[in-house]
Amino acid sequence: MLTSSLQPPASSLFPKNSFFGNKQSLIIVLGVRRSGTSALIKGLETMGVSIVDQAATPFNSFNPTGYWEDVEIHHLNMKLVHALNCLQPRWRSIIPLSEKEADFLCEQGFLKQGVELLLSKISAVSKPLGLKDPRFSMLLPFWKRVFKECHLNVSFLISLRDPFSAIASMESFARESEPINNHYEKFLWTWISFLLGCLEGTAGEKRILVDYQDLLTQPDFQIKRIAAAFHLEVQEELLKKYSTNFLDPLLCHFKMTEFSRNHLNHDQKIALEIYEQLLLVARDEISFEQLQPALEKWKGVFAAVEQLLVMAEKNEQTLLLHQAAVLVYREKLAKIGN
């Protein structure tokens, strides 16, 4: 339970001195899109973690404070997604990478590329390095192999946001940038799939879960909680700037409101159940280990619809190809008109 004084728990989530050692330290921020991962990666700076320069990362009106993503890592992740079409032509936006698919990517030479790229990032800093990319969550089986080859001390910071707020934000983003892919059901199962993938992919690893709304309302407590878990020291002046100048609750345009559970469909009830259980972990009321029975149940629910989600990804790939063909045709017509 959170204490009334909002002080981080005295005991760390990990054994003392388990985070630091002779290996270079890396913190990977995971989570569903539109779930506060940008706010979390920026928060790592307050505890001496090196993150990407904002000038080198794309940002827009949907994230005016920046995405804080490494462009080269992002480009490699997109190459991985496109390469997987050789196995099965579908747009991988919902279902996490399988071990078989990770094998394929390694056989295609991407393991070497990932290792070389990551080591170049690590060698450029003397402090722990923090990285985030929206596709880390989906491509985690591949990247864990990269981390192993690099002999890094890796920890995971998982961002949590309630499904209804996250999906509303995804829909708003998609209306302007990806109208062809704007489907509520797709976003709902993406939220479920990514979180289940994060939980399964980080099992047995050093990890901590943080709720986005809690970060906005209790930034000092949450940042110190993360620092305690990772055995890092918060720099108070940086924390003050982060809490007062960077975080802005007004930028959170979508918030979960009171609603009748009777009006939720089966899929929405599953998502809400997952969120409420994970929120208990994020508030240190239960452990990841205590969550395991529920996780097994959720994985069974996901397995029952997985083939339908594969079909959805195949349809999305077809739509994207048709969309590209239409754009080419319009460009040709424009040239003829000129």
Per-residue pLDDT of the chain (338 residues; tens, 9 = 90+): 333 334 444 433 333 333 344 579 999 999 998 789 999 999 999 999 999 876 555 554 455 555 578 999 999 999 999 999 888 888 888 899 999 999 999 999 999 999 999 999 999 998 999 999 989 999 999 999 999 999 999 999 999 999 998 888 777 655 555 544 557 888 899 999 999 999 999 999 999 999 999 999 999 999 999 999 999 999 999 999 999 988 876 655 555 555 556 678 889 999 999 999 999 999 999 999 999 999 999 999 999 999 888 888 887 766 666 566 667 667 777 777 66
d(C-alpha 320, C-alpha 185), whole Å: 18
Asked whether 49 and 230 are in contact (CB, 8 A), the reply is no
> Whole-prediction pTM value?
0.82
Coil/strand/helix, residue 247: coil
- Give φ, ψ of 218 to 5 degrees: -135, 60
Asked whether 128 and 26 are in contact (CB, 8 A), the reply is yes
Alpha carbon distances (Å) from 169 to 23, 35, 174: 38, 9, 9
d(C-alpha 264, C-alpha 268), whole Å: 6
Token pair 């976003």 is found at 187
Asked whether 233 and 223 are in contact (CB, 8 A), the reply is no
Report angle CA 243, 48, 23 to the nearest 5 degrees: 145
AA letter at 155: S
Instruction: For domain 25-337, give the CATH number.
Output: 3.40.50.300
